Structure 1
Amino acid sequence: MIKIYLASLILILSAACFIITNEIYKNFKNYKFINSKINKNHKELLEILQVHINRKNWLACIIKVEQIIKNKENLSIEYYNIIGYCYYSIKIYHLANYYYQQTIQQEPNNIIALFSLGKIYILTKKYKKAYDIYNTIIILDSNNKIAKKQVKILNKYL
């Protein structure tokens, strides 16, 4: 009986050790990739930021994007969307608003940034601005059911 107990205990502990070792290896690999000093291209930078977002490591993501913004002149709007999302996720809506506005300045028809701005305006109780944003989305995409639903909801607040 004790042999069965010990064998099952060893089996369970072996599985736990394998899982823990695998997680440590993945974390080390991601850490090495994120902190390597090689000049990274746009795709690699987005992958690094995605790792931070998946881990909900908002501050690290914000710092990385701020560094990218500081060091580059012709930025992709994806960076502004990412930093806006990070600030939105930690409920710093005025900064999220600022970065989504940067996206809209560069690409006025960016539906992702428009939706995000609409959400921020609703959360900050700026219903008229949210209404205008969702109407803009409907003009850009007349089949957008989410924007139409939001307009109906916002009509109650206006």
Structure 2
Amino acid sequence: MRRAQILAGFSIAAIALAFPAMSDAPKAPPLEPVHVPFVKTCQDTKITVYFSKQESVLSSYAARSLNTAGDQLAGCAVSDIQARVISADASDDSAATSLSEARAAVVLEALNARGIRARDVRTNFVPAAEATPTEALTFPMARRVDLTVKATTGYGL
């Protein structure tokens, strides 16, 4: 009798281990390298940078996205940058303001480090209540900085 219970326990454990773990963690990136073709343009560019919950640190994916944008805009004359920040993951308005400011600052510093500087930088902090329903309903999408970089051909290009 005892042996049957132990055998049943092991079989239940084996079945439980056979199912994939259920979590909210994002899927792992693909194992194959992704080739992103280099395109030299001096056109207006839109960049979206997503953040983890309650953080204002760039992920490796965000850093690569900003590196690609920096490579595409190298040698271009950037006239202005508009940053639209949505931080719907904050607990209250003061936390949302400080989190949004930190996120905007880290993104603009990263652009500055890659040589993308503008004479005019405008930042718009969008409270979650004022965000459109498509922006605010999905919280992973409501933790982002949307950038619009206006660029023209610089001297010698």
How high is the TM-score relative to the length of structure 2? 0.33
Structure with the higher fraction of residues in strand conformation = 2
Q: Which has the higher contact order (CA 8 A, sep 6+)?
A: 2
